[in-house]
Amino acid sequence: MENRFGKFSIGARNVRKKPRQVAQMLGILQFVPMRVESFDYEAYFEYRGLSPKFRRLEKGELIPEYRIVLSSDQTGNVTNCVAEEQTASKEVHHGPGS
């Protein structure tokens, strides 16, 4: 997962009301959180970290934001996740160990 940094947001209501599905999503993404922030005023959590579903970044490249698209079965279990890259953020990736 070297240099596969990215960030995405999840609505606070989904985190509170559907913790099992959020945990399943993070597991399917093989997401390793480096930072999680709660933005109460905007009612969302921002997750930053590593995932093999994110594209590899070059040193100095902007860290992209992803939209996570879920597929679920009839019982509500998350069966698949796709990370779709959105517009670039202003945060820069400084390479390993930064």
| Res 51: pLDDT | 97
| Residue entry with tokens 């040193």 | 59
Question: What is the rounded CA–CA span in Å between residue 49 and residue 54?
Answer: 10
Confidence of residue 31 (pLDDT cuts 50, 70, 90): very high
Residue 65 near residue 7, CB atoms below 8 Å: yes
The mean per-residue pLDDT over the stretch 8-12 comes to 94
Bridge-partner residues for 45, per DSSP? 10, 38
| Res 40: pLDDT | 78
Confidence of residue 58 (pLDDT cuts 50, 70, 90): very high
- Per-residue tokens: 16: 């509170």
3-state secondary structure of 10: strand
DSSP letter at 55 equals: P
Residue 63 near residue 89, CB atoms below 8 Å: yes
pTM over 0.85: no
* Lowest mean per-residue pLDDT among 27-31, 64-68, 84-88, 91-95: 91-95
| Res 44: pLDDT | 94
The mean per-residue pLDDT over the stretch 55-70 comes to 93
